[in-house]
């Protein structure tokens, strides 16, 4: 890998620096001795210059290789950084999707027609927030995934999660949103039905109470008629209302309605 190549390059440079210094000193010493003897002075100078040029060229090539390896190492370090960043982002998104999925499965709604009607706005707000949050997370992951692809990254040892996994999990969240909305619709219909029953019961109870009050007033008026004897007043009340038979049917109806309402909550 790049790290091993860097170590080999550093070892080569250390050895080259020591060896070059020693050989240059030895060659210069020999050249000086030969030049002192006036032996092939031109050739000796040229060969010494050529040797130094060759060593300089080798050093230059070594530096180029070192620079290339450093660039390669930087690229590998950047790949590792991208892998870790994607893993952190994907793991956080997965946790958010899992928590959101669990939250949406709670189908507890407020009681009362007005309360549950008003709750629709909260559900709409929650649904919009979920959609917006996921879109933001997915956009960030998609952009990062693009940079990883451009960098030539095809694997990630820090996570097995991919963009496709995020989309799959989000589809599951969407399904739960649909189920929660359906549960809300049913509960709203239930509360509407209860409210209709309450209103109907209240109307009939009010009508019954009004009939009962009217009957009481009329009976009290008959009872207050001093011109009639007690027996005559009783006969008039009995003739008008019997033994309360006119109230039995609405009373029974109210009882039946109350029992039905209790049975449906």
Q: Tens digit of pLDDT per residue, the chain (265 long)? A: 667 777 787 777 777 677 767 777 677 677 676 766 666 666 767 777 777 787 778 778 878 887 777 888 888 889 999 999 999 999 999 999 999 999 999 999 999 899 999 999 999 999 999 999 999 999 999 999 999 999 999 999 999 999 999 999 999 999 999 999 999 999 999 989 888 888 877 787 787 788 777 777 777 777 777 666 777 766 766 766 666 666 677 776 767 776 776 666 5
Distance CA 188, CA 193 (A): 9
- Helix/strand/coil percentages in the chain, nearest 5: 85, 0, 15
Q: What is the pLDDT of residue 239?
A: 63
What is the model's pLDDT at position 62?
77
- The length of the chain in residues reads 265
pTM of the model: 0.62
The pLDDT score that the predictor gives to residue 186 is: 95
Name the phi and psi angles at 161, rounded to 5: -75, 145
d(CA 246, CA 14): 118
**pLDDT computed for residue 80 by the predictor:** 93
């Amino acid at each position: 890998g790049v790290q091993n190549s860097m170590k080999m390059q550093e070892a080569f440079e250390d050895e080259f620096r020591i060896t070059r210094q020693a050989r240059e000193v030895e060659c210069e010493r020999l050249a000086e001795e030969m030049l002192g003897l006036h032996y092939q002075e031109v050739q000796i100078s040229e060969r010494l210059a050529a040797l130094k040029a060759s060593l300089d060229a080798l050093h230059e090539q070594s530096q180029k290789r070192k620079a290339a390896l450093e660039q390669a190492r930087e690229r590998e370090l950047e790949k590792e950084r991208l892998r870790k960043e994607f893993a952190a982002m994907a793991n956080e998104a997965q946790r958010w999707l899992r928590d959101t999925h669990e939250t949406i499965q709670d189908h507890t709604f407020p009681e009362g027609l007005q309360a549950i009607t008003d709750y629709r706005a909260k559900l709409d707000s929650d649904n919009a927030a979920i959609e917006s949050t996921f879109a933001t997370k997915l956009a960030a992951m998609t952009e990062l995934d693009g940079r990883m692809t451009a960098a030539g990254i095809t694997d990630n040892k820090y996570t097995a999660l991919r963009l496709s996994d995020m989309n799959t999990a989000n589809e599951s969240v969407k399904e739960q949103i649909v189920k929660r909305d359906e549960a809300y619709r049913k509960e709203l219909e239930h509360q509407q039905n209860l409210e209709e029953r309450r209103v109907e019961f209240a109307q009939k109870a009010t009508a019954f109470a009004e009939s009962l009050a009217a009957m009481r007033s009329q009976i009290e008026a008959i009872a207050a008629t001093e011109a009639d004897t007690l027996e005559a007043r009783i006969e008039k009340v009995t003739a008008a209302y019997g033994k309360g038979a006119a109230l039995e049917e609405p009373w029974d109806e109210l009882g039946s309605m109350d029992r039905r309402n209790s049975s449906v909550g």
